[in-house]
Every structure is written in C-alpha cells, then in structure tokens.
Structure 1
C-alpha cells in the first residue's frame, strides 16, 4: 500500500479559512483507499512550514507528497511544474517574517522539477471538466517554498508536487473568482488517485 502525504495550508492575510485545507479535509473524510492517506495542515510561515513538512516526510516516508495551496484571483486549478530556490515575500508570513531575495535552501539548486506526473494530472482534471492548467511558476511565497522543500526532502524514488487552488465558493471574498467547494475537493481527490500514474507521453515515447 502506497503512502500519500496530502497537505493544505492554514488561513493567512486576514482570511478566516483557507480552501486548500478545507479541500484536504473533505477528501480525507470520504477517502476509501487504495492508498494510505496522511493529511496535514501546514503553517503559512517559511521556517515553520519547512520544518513541519520535513518532519512529516521523515515520519511517514511517503511515496508521494501532494501539497496544495491557495492562488487567490485564479479561475483555474494550477498543477505546478517547478519550484525555485527563491523567497521574495510580498507580505509577511503568519510569523511576521518577510524575507526578500533569499534562498529557500542555502546551496540548493536553482530549481527543482515536480516529480508528480504533472501532464497526466492536467489531463485527468480537464477530462473531468475541471478548469486546470500547467503552471511554470508557483510564485516566491510559502507555496513555492513548500514545493521546493518537498522535492528536496522526499526519497529518491518518491514523488512530490504542488497544486494551487482558486478560492472556494464558501471562502471567496466578494467578487473574487472561485470554484465550488465540491469541485475543489473533487480535484484534490483526482490528484491523489492519479499521483502514482505514469506520465503522459507523445507517440514515440517523448513527453509532451
């Protein structure tokens, strides 16, 4: 039985809830396998999130890490492809830290590529009628920091990646783009179900 670590984030920037944590809890409430699903809510803080994530990975040795977070203003689910070794916080984190032009990991590579089957996940989400896209930037805030950290912390044969979610209907500020709560939970469940799939390839075997 594979172990899947699925995370969302606590609220930040004055919000009462974070739809990523809501979606993760909704998936866990109805989850019936086949994997062993471990869930956690990460702090929206650079140091604390990396420490918590590394502890979870060391404790559970997951076969896949799926981190989720909020991309307020987006109308689509973003399957992230790259984590960059850069922190440039536009607002303070929940611990009051606001680093700029700092590395996520001193001495680490400039970037790490998500090892989840990103194109397969995009394919699954769109085939299920969910608005999604492949993203080449997870930003430079805590979401990107968690993606970069996860990719450096998992076993060599394990997978890790990040999915950005829009606001949910029940959490969106007035006038903000959003998707139904049930659709966000459905999207996260699909990512869990297909996290260990083979990547999509072109005829002849090359990636898209």
Structure 2
C-alpha cells in the first residue's frame, strides 16, 4: 500500500475569492515525494465543521504525515508553526457566521500541543535554498489554530494515528491579494521541500537549534 501525505488547505474567507493555502495544496495533489503520495483536500473555514472534515480524512487515508496549510495575510514567509493552543477567539466571523470568544477547541483537553514536524530542520532546508521561511510561535486563535489543535489532539489520542506526524504551515498572500506576498510557484516549491525534509527527519535533534523569528 502506498504511504500517503495528507495536505489540506482552506477555502476562501473574509470576502476573498481565493485562498493560497488551498491553491498550493491542490498543486501538489498526486505528487510523489520519497515514495509517498500527496493527497490534497480542502477544509471549510468554519469552526467545528473543519474538524469534522479533517477527522473523516484522517480515517479515510491513514496518512504517514499530515500538513495543514492556512493563509496568513501580513506575513512574508512560509511560517512553520510550533504550537497549537486550546482556544477559539475569532476576530471575525467564520464562513458560517460563527464568532466564538474564549471557547475551548476541545473541552478538558491540554492547553496546547507542539507540532511533531521537525520545524527547525525544515527551516534550515528552506533557507538553504534561499526561500523565505520562519518558525512562528503563534497560529492565532481563528480556524487555522482550531484545525491545528484538532489535528494534534487526534494524533495524540487516536491509536490508529499513533505513527502519524503532523503540523501546520501558514503561507503568505499571493501578489494579487496584496503585500507582503509570495508567488504561488514559490509557495508550492517551498512546501514540497518542507514535506520532503519532514519525511527525511523524524524530529529535530536539539531544542533551540536553528533560527527562530
């Protein structure tokens, strides 16, 4: 059976007509990376429903690696997220009109989860190729963090996903959306390199290695 990489992106939100996270994920659908097949899927920018869709995808594909992508307007680099927090605090409504304030993603669950991707090794690989990349200490409190936390909770608690590693990457706007921005082809190239590194390196060798922002 071919091993799979699940790569998710979001639909457009906030009045936009596109979301680079989904365009980048879609561009990698079906690609082979180190013997693994990329499966791309779109998540709705909706609290709760996004996790329902993600849960079904995890059950269906039983991936070896999961990388969820989101758009971060105002960032100029691929942001490798370190930590997901158990808080929903929406600055604007999601695509279903929900705007939770200070609620838990998962009641009774830990305050936070760290990514299980080797983000420092991924950072080094990207920067070595001259790509704009950074380690981010916050994924926000909107649907991106909601999905990131839900993913990591699933990986930590579901026996069937015990061997699955995962995390979250924020991507910048595309040039047509505003500045700062990154061309779609550069986002796709960077993500392919980051995923390749994540397959090659199981975990970072030392806390604090590399450069953070």
Q: Using structure 1 for the length normalisation, give the TM-score.
A: 0.92
Tell me, in whole angstroms, the C-alpha distance in 2 between the residues paired with 1:21 and 1:14: 16
Range with bigger deviation, 191-200 or 17-26: 191-200
Runs (4+) off by over 2 Å: 198-202
Which of 154, 159, 163 is the aligned partner of 1:157?
163
Unaligned residue ranges in structure 1 (runs of 5+): none
Distance in 2, matches of 1:90 and 1:207, equals 31
- C-alpha contact (below 8 Å) 1:120/1:198 kept by paired residues: no
Q: Are the aligned partners of 2:123 and 2:133 in contact in 1 as well (CA < 8 Å)?
A: yes
Partner of 1:198: 202
- Hey, what does 1:32 align to over in structure 2? 32
CA distance in 1, matches of 2:203, 2:104: 30
1:207: Cα distance to partner? 5.8
Q: Distance in 2 between matches of 1:113 and 1:182?
A: 29
Query: Helix, strand or coil: the match of 2:28?
Result: helix
Q: Given the two structures, how large is their TM-score scaled by the length of structure 2?
A: 0.90
2:190 is aligned to 187
Q: What's the offset of the Cα at 1:192?
A: 2.2
CA–CA separation in structure 1 for the residues paired with 2:195 and 2:89: 30
1:177 to 160, 177, 180: 180
Question: In structure 1, what is the equivalent of residue 22 of structure 2?
Answer: 21
CA RMSD of aligned residues (A): 1.4
Residue 134 (str. 1) matches residue 135 (str. 2):
yes
- Any stretches of 5+ residues in structure 2 without a counterpart? 156-160
1:60: Cα distance to partner? 1.1
Supply the distance in 2 between the matched residues of 1:69 and 1:92 (Cα, whole angstroms). Answer: 16
- On the 8 A contact 1:3/1:64 being kept in 2, the answer is yes
Q: Which residue of 2 aligns with 1:75?
A: 76
What is the CA deviation profile of residues 37-83 of structure 1, one whole-angstrom value per residue up to 9, with x for unaligned ones?
Answer: 21101000011101000110011111111000100011111000100
Q: Secondary structure at the match of 2:66?
A: strand
